[in-house]
A and B are shown apart, each in its own frame.
Chain A
């Protein structure tokens, strides 16, 4: 089983601060995705990283894929209350499970004004 471990589980910060969420595995992934889910809503795809060492930016969000493609991180600069949500990393499940994703346990981020 390829497990995706996210840390921390919970993060509470003040508006304007920076934060980093980690997604680690002992297995190599062909790609990893990050989703954000707000309360009472479905997850929304933020980014897909596919190349080892890749860095992608989405406004104040910076996503990195480890060189060995076993880990990824999400860094938010100058967090805002609108960044509050459950952040999930996900990767393709084992071969033979076309289309399936496995998810990390999630990181609940709360940004207070």
Chain B
């Protein structure tokens, strides 16, 4: 168990458009999901914590109006990159805690979404 999916896996869009990325926990419930951004050959950079039924908590320096997060159910969180620009091009990864089983903050990651903004 503990499978997390992301869709799409890869997206190319024009500058100025908005892109929505979905993150789903397939076989467990997740009250908390996390969104990361990763640059080539670098570690994960936490962008925000997505809480089911409440507003997301953004890390310092991350624009909440730029990166809209919605966590509508215990198995789905979405990240929308609004008015995307080339500098938003990156690898976006989501993760989830297993409800009531994450004694040690273990996170299970999706396969990531490669966003390219032309």
Contact = CB atoms under 8 A, between A and B. Distances in A.
A61 to B, nearest CB: 17
Given A31-B104, A40-B112, A42-B4, 10 more contacts: A41-B112, A42-B110, A44-B109, A48-B106, A92-B104, A99-B102, A99-B107, A100-B46, A101-B34, A101-B46
Contacts of A91: 105
A31 B103 CA distance: 10
Interface string B90-118: 01010101000010111111111010000
Nearest to B4: A42
B46 A42 contact: no
B54 interface: no
Interface of A: 30-31, 33, 35, 40-45, 48, 50, 86, 88, 90-93, 98-101, 103-106, 108
Interface string B61-99: 000000000000000000000000000000101010100
Interface string B26-52: 000000101000000111101001000
B44 A99 contact: no
Interface residues of B, number: 25
Contacts of B97: 99
B42 A106 contact: yes
B5 to A, nearest CB: 10
A43 B106 contact: no
A35 B44 CA distance: 11
A98 B4 CA distance: 20
Contacts of A35: 109
Contacts of A40: 91, 112, 114
Nearest to A43: B109
A42 B104 contact: no
A111 to B, nearest CB: 17
A42 B32 contact: no
Contact of B41 (A42, A98, A103, A108): A108
A5 to B, nearest CB: 11
A88 B105 contact: no
Contacts of B46: 100-101
A33 B106 contact: yes
